[in-house]
Structure 1
Amino acid sequence: MDSAQIVNIIIALFLPPLAVFLEKGWGTECILDLVLTILFFFPGMLYALYIVLAQHTSR
């Protein structure tokens, strides 16, 4: 686990849409996470963690 992944995980905990945007760019994943975060913060955070951790394990 490198420092970039740790920073992305911390961002995913506090600002989930930003973490998804940094990993995937502006697209359906970012819009979905933004909606999840606006409606219910916890699902948006879980989705962002999933995106961040899945992105780093596939590299």
Structure 2
Amino acid sequence: MAGTASMLCLILITIFIPPLGVFLISGCSVDFLINILLTILGYLPGHIHAFYLEYVYYKNQQAMVAEPAPGVYSDRIQRGGQRQQTYGTIS
């Protein structure tokens, strides 16, 4: 239920301020900067881009997708917010 509530809050935030919605899922990334530019160029392109990124983010939370989504430059969105497993040695 907490995932649904956070998704609804994110959608409401994105309706009013698209770049803020993108920032919440991607952080300060190229996708965030692209969304700011699209929102400045027109309110509708900013919304379309923001909702597409949110769709990819939540879709990738459900299942691990091997193929990256086109037009998404943030690794955090590509992984659905999951941390990347890194293995190495302690020096």
Which structure would you say has the larger Rg?
2
5+ residue gaps in structure 2? 62-91
Large movers: runs of 4+ above 2 Å: none
Aligned pairs for 1:1-59 within 5 A: 2-59=4-61
Give the residue type in structure 2 aligned to 1:38.
Answer: I
> Cα RMSD (Å) of the superposition?
1.1
Counterpart AA for 1:16: P
TM-score, normalised via structure 2 length: 0.62
When normalised by structure 1's length, the TM-score is 0.92
Q: Greater shift after overlay, 23-32 or 48-57?
A: 48-57
Residues matched between the structures, number? 59
Kindly indicate whether the alpha-carbon contact (under 8 Å) linking 1:20 and 1:29 is maintained by their aligned counterparts in 2: yes
Higher helix share: 1
